[in-house]
Chains A and B, each alone.
Chain A
Amino acid sequence: MRGRTKQAFRPVPRIVIMVVLGISSLVAIGPLVWLVSTSFKSRGDVFAVPPELIPADPTLDNYSHVWTQADVQQYLANSLLVSVGTVLLNVSTAALLGFALGRFRFKGRRLLFLLGLSTMIIPFPAIMLPLFVTVKQLGLTDNLLGIIIPTGAMTLWLSVYILREAFLGLPDELEEAAVIDGCSPLRLLFQVMLPLVKAPLATSAILVFTLTWSEFLWPLVIMRDHSRFTISVGLQYFMSTLTSNWHHIAAVAVIASLPVVVVYLVLQRYFFSDVLAGSSKG
C-alpha cells in the first residue's frame, strides 16, 4: 500500500488495538451475520433459542421465493436508477456551488451557505405535504425524477459542505497559474481542480448513494405505480404486519444491500489510493 515495511505499532499495543478492533468489527457485523444466516434458514429455524449461527439445514428457497415475488427485480432496477440519478444531480450541482463558495468572493456567499445549511435540519415530515403538491404540479408523480430531484435537493448541502471544504483547501497557486495561462473559471474547475477533489467527490457520492438507497417514506408517498417502486418500498411488502416472515425479509435485505456493498468497494479506492495522497501534496 504505502510501502511501509516496518510496523507502526509495538507488539503489545498492537495486540490491544487489534482486540479492540476485532470486538468492534464483531459488533458491527453481528446483526448482519444474523441477517445473512437467517436468509438461508428454513422456516422453523428462525426462532430457535439460542439462535443458530450456521443454519442446520441451509436452503436457497428464500431467495428464489422473494426473487419471483413482488417484482423485486424491477424494484432493484428502479433503486439503481434513482440512486445513480440522485448522485449525479446532487454531486454535479454541489460541485459547481462548492467551487463557487470555495474559490469565489461573490456577495451573499456566506449567507447563502448558512441558509442552505439550516435547511438540512428541517425534519422531512414537516415539508412532505407541500413538497408533494410541488412535485405533483410538475407532473412527476409517476416518474422516477419525482424521487431523484427532491432527494437530490434534500441531500444537496451535505455534498456542498464537503466540496466547499475541499475547494477551500486547494492551494491558491493552482488558480494563479491557471489565470496566468488565460484559463476561464470553467476550465479551471473542470481541468484543474475537479481531478484534485476526487476523494471528497467520492465521499459525497457514497453518502448520497447510501442515503437515497434506504429512503422509503418519500418514494412510497410519491410513486403510485408499482413498477416505479424502489427496493426500500418493496421491502415494506415483506416487512409489514401480515407478512413479516423473517427468512424472506432477510433474503430481500441481503439482495437490497449487495448493490451498496459493490458501490462501496468500487468507490473506496478513491479514498485510499496513493495517487490521491500524492497529488494533494503539491
Chain B
Amino acid sequence: MSEPVGRTAERGRSWRRVRDSRWGWLFAVPAVGLIGGFVLYPAVNTLLFSFTDFNGLTPASLVGLGQYAALGADGVFHRTLLNSLLITGAVTVLLVCLPLPVAYWIHRGIPLRRFFRTMLYLPVVVPVIVSSVAWKWLLDDNGLINYLLVAAGVTERPISWLSDPGWAVWSVIGVIVWRAFGIYLLIYLAGLATMPEEHFEAAAIDGAGHVRTFASIVVPRLRGSIVLSSVIAFVAAMRTFDEIYVLTEGGPVNASKNTAYYIWESAFSFFKFGYGSAMAVVLLLAVLAMVLIGLRLARRSS
C-alpha cells in the first residue's frame, strides 16, 4: 500500500494545513458511524458472547475461557480451519491469476472481445443460491458433467464430485471460481482501461512480444488492481457460506466444512452461540495474524 507521504514535502503551506487538518475525520464520520454501529458494535457483542454459554434464547452465564478451551479439543473445528485455509488459498490464487491473461487478451482486442467479456461476466448476475443449486445438479453422480465425462471416455465410472471427501471441497472451490471470475475480470479490465495506450505502443516499438509486454508492463502496472483482487478474493473466500450450504452442507465427514459454516451450524442449529462466537474470534485473530505477516513480508520484499 503506497502512501502519499513523501510527495507532500514540497507542497504549499496552505494545502498542507488542509491535508493535515481534521477534514479527514470529518469525511470519515458517516463511514465510521455505519461500520461502528452495524458491524463493530455487534462484533463486540460477539466477543462478549464468546466468554459465555449463551444459547440464543436464555440469559447466559460467564464461563471465562471455557469455550476457547473446548475449541482447542474440537477436532472438527481444527478441520474447518484447515478447510478455510485451503478454500481461501485456492480461491484467491485462482481468482487473482486466471482472469489476468484473459483481461489482457480482451483489452488488446481479440476478435469478439465484447462477446467474451459479457459471457464471462454472466455467472455473476445469477443469484448465488440458484447457480449453486444448478451446479449441484450438474455435479451429481447422474448429472450432466458425469454424463459428458463418461460419454467422452475420460472416466469409466461417474465421479462423486459432492460425496467423495477428496472432491467435495474442490467442487466448492470450482463453483466459487466459476461464479466470481467475472468480477475479477472486470476489475482488471477497469484497471487496464486507465492504462495509457502509449505503453503498449512503446513495447511494440521495442519489439516486445505479448508475453514480455504482459510480464513486464501489464502485471507491474496493474499492481493496484492485483492487490485489490487479492484482498477482495481473500475476504470473500474466508466468508464462503452459500456454496457450502447448498452443495455439500459441509460433508461428507466434514471434508468441505469451513469455519464460517461451522459457526452458523453451531449457533443456529446447535444453539451454541457462545461457542460459535469463540470460533469467530479465533478465526478473526488468525486472519489478522496472517494479514500482518503478509504485510510485513510484502514490505520487506519491496
**Do A and B interact directly, with beta carbons closer than 8 Å?**
yes
- Give the interface of A toward B (CB within 8 A): 1-2, 4, 7-9, 13-14, 17-18, 21-22, 24-25, 27-32, 34-35, 49-51, 89, 92-94, 96-97, 99-106, 109, 112, 115-131, 133-135, 149-150, 152-154, 156-158, 160-162, 165, 168-169, 172, 175-176, 179-180, 185, 189, 199-200, 202-203, 206-207, 210, 213-214, 216, 231-232, 235-236, 239, 249, 253, 256-257, 260-261, 264, 271-273, 276-277, 280-281
Q: With a CB–CB cut-off of 8 A, which chain B residues contact A135?
A: 38
Residue from A18, A24, A130, A152 within 8 A of B42 (CB atoms) = A130
Question: A153 to B40, alpha carbons, bound, how many Å?
Answer: 10
CB neighbours of A17 from chain B (8 A)? 105, 110
How distant is the Cα of A149 from the Cα of B36 in the complex, in angstroms? 12
* Given A2-B197, A13-B210, A18-B111, CB of A119 within 8 Å of CB of B130: no
**A121-B239, A121-B287, A165-B224 known; 19 other A-B pairs, CB under 8 Å?**
A8-B108, A8-B110, A31-B134, A32-B123, A50-B144, A105-B20, A112-B32, A116-B35, A118-B291, A125-B241, A126-B43, A126-B279, A127-B45, A153-B34, A158-B232, A185-B27, A203-B187, A232-B127, A272-B193
- If A185-B23, A235-B127 touch, whether A129 touches B138 (CB-CB below 8 Å) is no
Q: Are the CB atoms of B22 and A214 closer together than 8 Å?
A: no
A7:B109 contact, CB within 8 angstroms: yes
Chain B residues in 8 Å Cβ range of A179: 12, 14-15, 18
How far, in angstroms, from A268 to B259 measured CA to CA in the complex?
35
Pick the interface stretch among B3-11, B70-78, B158-166: B3-11
Task: Give the most central of B26, B28, B40: most A CB within 10 Å.
Answer: B28
Residue B283 at the chain A interface, CB threshold 8 Å: yes
Within the complex, what minimum Cβ distance (angstroms) separates A57 from chain B? 20
Contacts A165-B224, A172-B4 known; A24 to B102 CB distance under 8 Å?
Answer: yes
B260 and A123 within 8 A (CB): yes
B231 at the interface (CB under 8 A from A): yes
Indicate the size class of the contact surface on chain B.
35 or more
**Does B95 make an interface contact (CB < 8 A)?**
no
Q: Please state if B125 and A93 are interface contacts (CB–CB under 8 Å).
A: no
With A and B bound together, what is the CA distance between A87 and B213 in angstroms? 37
Asked whether A176 lies within 8 Å of B260 as measured between CB atoms, the reply is: no
14 sample A-B contacts, Cβ–Cβ < 8 Å, listed by A number? A4-B109, A7-B109, A13-B210, A28-B120, A28-B123, A29-B119, A31-B123, A32-B131, A105-B20, A106-B25, A121-B283, A125-B260, A130-B43, A149-B34
**Residue A125 contacts which of B40, B181, B268 (CB distance < 8 angstroms)?**
B268
For B212, the chain A residues whose CB sits under 8 A away are none
B65 within 8 A of A: no
Chain A residues near B297 (CB-CB < 8 A): none
Q: What A residues does B167 contact at CB under 8 A?
A: none
Which listed residue (A13, A29, A34, A123) contacts B283, Cβ 8 A?
Answer: A123
Q: Is B293's beta carbon under 8 Å from chain A? A: no
* B186 contacts A21, C-beta separation under 8 Å: no
- Chain A residues with Cβ below 8 Å from B283 are 121, 123
- Residues 99-134 of B, flagged 1 when their CB comes within 8 A of A and 0 if not, give 000100110111110011001111111111111011
| Interface of B (DSSP majority class) | helix
B170 within 8 A of A: no
* Given contact pairs A31-B135, A96-B30, A119-B43, A150 touches B38 in the complex (Cβ within 8 A): yes
B254 interfacial by beta-carbon distance below 8 Å: no
B238 adjacent to chain A (CB < 8 Å): yes
Partner of B39, one of A34, A122, A256: A122
| Minimum CB distance partner of A261 in chain B | B125
Q: Which residue of B lies closest to A185 (CB)?
A: B23
User: CB distance A200 to B46 under 8 Å?
Assistant: no
Query: Which residues of the other chain, A, contact B24 by a CB distance below 8 angstroms?
Result: 100-101, 104-106, 109
Say whether A21 contacts B102, CB under 8 Å: yes
Q: Which residue, A34, A92, A104, A109, has most C-beta atoms of chain B within 10 A?
A: A104
